[in-house]
A and B are shown apart, each in its own frame.
Chain A
Amino acid sequence: KAGVTQTPRYLIKTRGQQVTLSCSPISGHRSVSWYQQTPGQGLQFLFEYFSETQRNKGNFPGRFSGRQFSNSRSEMNVSTLELGDSALYLCASSSGAKETQYFGPGTRLLVL
């Protein structure tokens, strides 16, 4: 079974721009969660989607948003990028029954 895939793998943007990242979960998984990883703050939860509905949200500003489609694929959007948004953005999927989350390879975002 194929793992979680994320696109693009690398991205360079400038301050003030917006960016959209994509995540395809493991086949059959309906829950998709997003995390931000930085050297200073470590791994932090952004939000979780299940059946196209946001089920949980972390402590991030409204510039961070997401959505999930009917095929469980998910996107996250960051508007008005700031230098501090430079990070590895990780997507994880899990099945409805099990809580274990399986992570994708991440998207490395650099904001200049």
Chain B
Amino acid sequence: QVQLVESGGGVVQPGRSLRLSCAASGFTFSSYAMHWVRQAPGKGLEWVAFISYDGDKKYYADSVKGRLTISRDNSKNTLYLQMNSLRAEDTAVYYCARERIVGATVDSWGQGTLVTVSS
């Protein structure tokens, strides 16, 4: 079955960097577009970034543009989120999610990894 496992979260100081990973299994990773979605404590879901199946297309929420970078390594079945110049408002659980090939619905989610930006 589809499995997405995020890792790399933790406590980081403002202005520092962090890289999240999402290990995919149970499906042909290289055929699927992927997303990162985050959820601040006690708040709603916020879409963060999208990457096409081949990595050619990338889109970002305005709130993270220029600071967060989505990438993937299809040979390792892994999705990444490089987070630079972190701010307190980036504190959230970060989920990776798979987009269905036909119809573009996000249909599978990982369990999330918590990033806390604090001095």
Asked if A and B bind, the verdict is no
| B interface, CB within 8 angstroms of A | none
